Structure 1
């Protein structure tokens, strides 16, 4: 904690605020950037909860959660134009309070149509909050460390979510899921006052940004979209897949929780490797391993294969998406292409479950697996050219 003076980092802090570049601040910022999109980390629990708690069909449950993420994509894109104009702290208070209200309202909705509308609005609000969180994190001295904490919070708490929440639905109904989101937002709301002001850093007006290679960037954005869509389309239904294969929820939930925690190793791997071996080999190898692990889910009835497949996907998903987002960001230094990469990522996260919802029908999980594998192979092909070009340039 700091006194009401300028600290060594040049910011004026109230006595209760934490140093802007401390580890505590990074944890608080990670919660801020996660609160608006935490439902993505517990997506399997939400989809299965709607099916079990409200008797929604596979299609209806998938579309409700897709609407949530589509709203987030629109909100995140809007945030690109809003972050410079908004007072981030006041906006965070309003947005978090709005998210809490919408989650509470969602508890009392029982039709797919009403939930699609309300969850789209929730996503819209949450997407703006995520954009604000990312913008504030970018104002720290070492944003990469802040994003490292972000992954730690998302994978760590997401693991707890998919492990514990599905077992609460039979007893407490769908309310257990939405109240978990309320709890996350309330905790985040309590953290916001302790953060420093993080004023906008004025760029060098004389600096002329290099021209963006839009053709290569378009391929990188498409690869990001394909990777996220392929993974989330299957992940949203992975609990149902396990049940259809004859596995119990008592086995499925801990497996998914462990897979989320193992995903942290993937993000650590990116930090350790960085670009010392370029981006092409690590990216293609990780996408290939994701495709192989995804294909193994055809044999989900074999318990050890279900464990291996999910844990491997958890690790390679975190590893590959870090490189893909870094690939997008590398096309300019202003942050604009990084923001576009985040938008492509969210569009993929929303479109995957939507596509899966349209083809899954009466538990056709084999079709969803095949589409996911095809999407991952296509992602590797699309990513090859821009990644190789960027490696040569650097």
Structure 2
């Protein structure tokens, strides 16, 4: 399972990495801006909480289906063609979203929009998974994601105030149009992906250790890691879809909410650096499990008390832990499997529960359990992931301690 790549891949070229990051970010742009999009849908079109939950889930359903399709096609179909198809679908669907505002019609259009964005997101992630320094490049992706997240959270309220939710949909159209330029830099296929005369790594002992560990790791471990990713995104999907509405319910001002979310997101830009430092010092397991405990604590805080102080603390800590956990999750999967096979399935694992949890959260709200019930749903996802990783690391320490404690 662990395959040591001793030659530089065409996916390691700087422009290929840049293109993959940009296409991934734009493909996932709807989810990044989900809190403000949900708020704008409520303010502009007057949808109720259950409808908002389904609309938030619609894009994520599309992302999930697209990620599964891409994982099956990525080595059989021209990657550039897949990206062009995804971009075109997303542009058409987002533009149609400005024309049709009936719930049933808009719901179907948003699923199609998610398909387009999901194709782009999955193609970009699969390309990063083919790089030599997978963990570093995924950290770059997460770093840029946080920066774009802050931009959307800060600008979308103004866009919505001037042009309503249609302005946000047109923003997505423009973003996807801009990605057309970068598709040309993606490798078309996985074939002949070794650069001639590339330098060979000289650390043969590391390669031998990796190959030895590969024979000892059962195949269910990476699948458990993907299950943990899905559990984490039960939390992320529900929290991120309704964090803006939570602030409104607590009578916080719109400016305070948008500024808190934007500043909290900017704070997480330090997450990659801190995650790297802690990984080098403590390995993978201890920092990841500690982050789960911290995230669970802030979810319980919001379940029992929401005021200006708790909202700021929770939004900031949640954003930091979200990025921090993602870095370690991708690092763990990368250490287990350097071929990128399982890393390419991460969007599918994320999309599986992202597509369901906002709708479940909307149902919880419609049944009168309030945002405390939503926070309890989020906590269940986080605690489940923590339990899974406890099992994974315990097994790795017994059969491959070099991987369990690697950085």
**C-alpha displacement at 1:63, in angstroms?**
0.8
Unaligned runs of 5+ in 1: 1-8, 12-18
Q: 1:269 to 1:351 in 2, by over 3 A?
A: farther
For residues 53-83 of structure 1, the C-alpha deviation after alignment (integer angstroms, 9 at most, x for no partner) is 1111111111112121121111111111211
1:127-206 mapped onto 2 (5 Å cutoff): 127-193=118-184, 195=185, 197=187, 200=190, 202=192
**C-alpha displacement at 1:134, in angstroms?**
2.0
Answer whether contact 2:146 2:266 (CA < 8 A) is retained.
yes
Q: 1:94 to 1:274 in 2, by over 3 A?
A: same
For residues 111-169 of structure 1, the C-alpha deviation after alignment (integer angstroms, 9 at most, x for no partner) is 22112211112222222222211232334453434323311221111111112213432
Answer whether contact 1:329 1:341 (CA < 8 A) is retained.
no
Which residue in 2 is equivalent to 1:28?
A: 19
Q: Helix, strand or coil for the counterpart of 1:274?
A: helix
Which structure dedicates a bigger proportion of its chain to helix?
2
**C-alpha displacement at 1:106, in angstroms?**
0.9
Q: Helix, strand or coil for the counterpart of 1:86?
A: coil
Q: 1:262 to 1:198 in 2, by over 3 A?
A: farther
For residues 183-236 of structure 1, the C-alpha deviation after alignment (integer angstroms, 9 at most, x for no partner) is 21122123334x2646525589xx997476244344323222111111221221
Answer whether contact 1:70 1:346 (CA < 8 A) is retained.
yes
Which residue in 2 is equivalent to 1:389?
A: 395
Answer whether contact 1:72 1:127 (CA < 8 A) is retained.
yes
Answer whether contact 2:9 2:193 (CA < 8 A) is retained.
no
Mapped partners of 1:184, 1:391: distance in 2: 44
Q: 1:381 to 1:147 in 2, by over 3 A?
A: closer
Mapped partners of 2:221, 2:316: distance in 1: 32
2:360 to 336, 355, 365: 355
Q: 1:61 to 1:165 in 2, by over 3 A?
A: same
CA root-mean-square deviation: 2.7
**C-alpha displacement at 1:174, in angstroms?**
1.0
Answer whether contact 1:59 1:360 (CA < 8 A) is retained.
yes
Mapped partners of 2:57, 2:117: distance in 1: 14
For residues 276-303 of structure 1, the C-alpha deviation after alignment (integer angstroms, 9 at most, x for no partner) is 5232211110011111122222466431
1:104-119 mapped onto 2 (5 Å cutoff): 104-119=95-110
Which residue in 2 is equivalent to 1:364?
A: 370
Matched, 1:81 2:86: no
Answer whether contact 1:229 1:352 (CA < 8 A) is retained.
yes
Which residue in 1 is equivalent to 2:231?
A: 226
1:306-345 mapped onto 2 (5 Å cutoff): 306-345=311-350
Answer whether contact 2:233 2:350 (CA < 8 A) is retained.
yes
**C-alpha displacement at 1:304, in angstroms?**
2.2
Mapped partners of 1:80, 1:41: distance in 2: 22
Mapped partners of 1:197, 1:371: distance in 2: 41
1:190-339 mapped onto 2 (5 Å cutoff): 190-193=181-184, 195=185, 197=187, 200=190, 202=192, 210=215, 213-274=218-279, 276-298=281-303, 301-339=306-344
Q: 1:211 to 1:105 in 2, by over 3 A?
A: farther
Q: Which moved more, 1:264-273 or 1:36-45?
A: 264-273
Name which structure has the greater RCO, CA cutoff 8 Å, separation 6+. Answer: 2
For residues 250-287 of structure 1, the C-alpha deviation after alignment (integer angstroms, 9 at most, x for no partner) is 00001101122222222222233336523221111001
- Say how many residue pairs are matched: 375
Answer whether contact 1:244 1:363 (CA < 8 A) is retained.
no
Answer whether contact 2:27 2:121 (CA < 8 A) is retained.
yes
**C-alpha displacement at 1:348, in angstroms?**
2.2
Mapped partners of 1:317, 1:197: distance in 2: 30
Q: Helix, strand or coil for the counterpart of 1:69?
A: helix
For residues 8-50 of structure 1, the C-alpha deviation after alignment (integer angstroms, 9 at most, x for no partner) is x897xxxxxxx9633x653332111122221111111111111
